[in-house]
Structure 1
Amino acid sequence: MSISSRTLAGDQPRERLLRLGPGALSDAELVALVAGIESQGRDDVAVARELILDCSGLRGLAAAFPEELTRSACIGLTGAARLIAAFELAGRATDAPTNRVMDSAAAIAALVSPVLARERREKVLVLVADAANRVLQVVPVATGGLDSSPLPVREVLHAVLRYDGRAFALAHNHPSGDPSPSVQDREATAAVGRAADAVGLRFLDHVVVAGTTWRSVR
């Protein structure tokens, strides 16, 4: 029986959520609602439960790639996008480091580690800051494969200027588990530093995160 065909209106997850709050719903019911699952002839919540199991739980679901989510016949690109967006919003609400001060490489690593720890592919973040090095915005500018990601200098500078930044830092993850900066990391960091100097921005540092460890590239 699907969500839309439940006999009692009060038993529908949407109505229970509105009446009692999200805590009244199971994980599978929340996933079914967020993804907009509407299976043909099957229980929508059962389909969502299978999806959670296929991903080895909610943590795995939160880190799943679109192609992994759409393996289910009942999850299309729209449903996958909804789930990814929901987990991203939840992560931002929990981890948002705005107004915190970047006064050292360790402080930068502490700000980005909770965000990058969820990533299974390399992701490059720009931490845009004001003149006092307080974080204004954290902006992803590139996502790569399992072991590499480009560092687009133009996108980095555009992100800083777009949010009226005066200073910025970079961070990216190494899914391999080794935070040691590569030769490419050092070359790209030097290129960003030169570009920042040319437009009058302060480039604070570039940190590589791998699990609970990190290294400064500069």
Structure 2
Amino acid sequence: MNDGQKPSGLKNTEGFSESPQPHYHGHRDRLRARFQSSGAQDLQDYELLELLLFRILPRRDTKPIAKALIDRFGSFAGVLSASPQMLQEVDGLGPNAVVDLKVIQAAAQRFSKSKLPERPTLGSWTELLEYCHTQMAYEDKEQFRILFLDKKNKLIADEVQQVGTVDHTPVYPREVIKRSLEHSATALILLHNHPSGDPTPSGADIQMTRAIDEIAKPLGITVHDHIIIAKDGHASMRGLKLF
């Protein structure tokens, strides 16, 4: 070819193939710019998820994947809290991408947990609820956990005691008290989640809480509250005057 024109698809004079950037690159740049100028508060859940997926899936158009995830799991938090098996059912996510999302969830939980001991728990009710919601709200099985506190209401330990089914967790009051004594705890906050989304305490919840409270009192251990966490709310059994 001697017509002076460069054939389409061949290398340019610098030795690199000429190929247009994928169409989503401009979208990524604009979304990053919005985040840099305004932060996350102006981004919808799927857009914040896109920002994460940019790095997890650098060669994919992540907008439809992010939207599919939000449609499936309802929210940003719901996506991060979904089980690996359910995440892999979404088209575009492979095992490696799912692991990356679960690492991000673990990092968020660790960050939330690290903030809690810095100040008295009962003096930071909003922060406590945010922490509980981050840890438990999107679990697909009931779990019962305890915050063990010292006399200044500082967190000694946060432990998951039992994991049950979608609507039941076996709890043994004497085991709860035994563990409290092992930690030298003087106060407890009991927590469990309702995967159904309804935080209303059941009759079994009330009975179990009263049993723990009755055993704890003579030993000088105060049960501050039993909080039930659901995706869209919570219930304080102390606030409801159920024990």
Range of TM-score over shorter length? 0.5 to 0.7
- 1:171 equivalent to 2:191? Answer yes
Give the distance between the partners of 2:206 and 2:73, measured in 1 at CA.
Answer: 33
Quote the offset at 1:88 in angstroms.
3.6
Are 1:34 and 2:34 an aligned pair?
no
Q: What's the counterpart of residue 48 of structure 1?
A: 66
Query: Partner letter of residue 67 of structure 1?
Result: Q
- How many residues align? The count is 204
Q: Residues 22 and 97 of structure 1: is their aligned pair in 2 closer, same or farther, counting only changes over 3 Å?
A: same
- For residues 17-96 of structure 1, the aligned pairs below 5 Å read 19-20=36-37, 22-23=39-40, 27-34=45-52, 36-38=55-57, 42-58=60-76, 60-61=78-79, 63-72=81-90, 73-76=92-95, 77-85=98-106, 88=109
User: Where does 1:1-218 land on structure 2 (aligned, <5 Å)?
Assistant: 6=25, 11=29, 16=33, 19-20=36-37, 22-23=39-40, 27-34=45-52, 36-38=55-57, 42-58=60-76, 60-61=78-79, 63-72=81-90, 73-76=92-95, 77-85=98-106, 88=109, 98-101=119-122, 111-112=128-129, 115-116=132-133, 118-119=137-138, 121-132=141-152, 134-136=153-155, 139-141=158-160, 142-151=162-171, 153=175, 157=179, 161=183, 165-175=185-195, 177=198, 178-182=200-204, 186=208, 189-190=211-212, 193=215, 202-204=221-223, 207=226, 209=228, 211-215=233-237
- Relative contact order (C-alpha < 8 Å, sep 6+): which is higher? 1
Tell me by how many angstroms 1:78 deviates.
0.5
Given that 1:181 and 1:215 are in contact with CA atoms closer than 8 Å, whether structure 2 keeps it comes out as no
Identity %: 19
From the superposition, tell whether residues 131 and 26 of structure 1 become closer, same or farther in structure 2 (CA, over 3 Å).
closer
Say if 1:214 and 1:101 are closer, same or farther in 2 by CA, change over 3 A: closer
SS of the residue 2:226 aligns to:
strand
* Over 6 Å off, 4+ runs: 93-97
Structure 2, unmatched stretches of 5+, are 1-20
Contact 1:136–1:165, Cα closer than 8 Å, also in 2: no
Per-residue Cα deviation, 1:59-117 (whole angstroms, up to 9, x for no partner): 54355333322212414331331343355467668988951338xxxx99x95588358
Please state whether the residue corresponding to 2:202 is helix, strand or coil.
coil
Contact 2:121 2:154 in 1 (8 A): yes
Write the distance in 2 (CA, Å) between the matches of 1:43 and 1:156.
53
Structure 2 counterpart of 1:204, one-letter code: V
Taking a change above 3 Å as real, the CA distance of residues 22 and 150 of structure 1, as seen in their structure-2 partners, is farther
In 2, are the aligned partners of 1:123 and 1:172 still within 8 Å (CA)? yes
SS at match of 1:209: strand
Residue aligned with 1:147, SS: coil
Give the Cα separation in 1 of the matches to 2:158 and 2:168. Answer: 18
**TM-align CA RMSD:** 5.1
Residues of 2 paired with 1:70 and 1:156: CA distance?
40
The alignment's TM-score, normalised by the length of structure 2, stands at 0.55
How far residue 212 of structure 1 moved from its aligned partner, in angstroms, is 4.6
Q: Deviations along 1:10-51, whole A, 9 cap, x unmatched?
A: 92866x4885464376644532443543276x3123322222
- Secondary structure of the corresponding residue to residue 126 of structure 1: strand
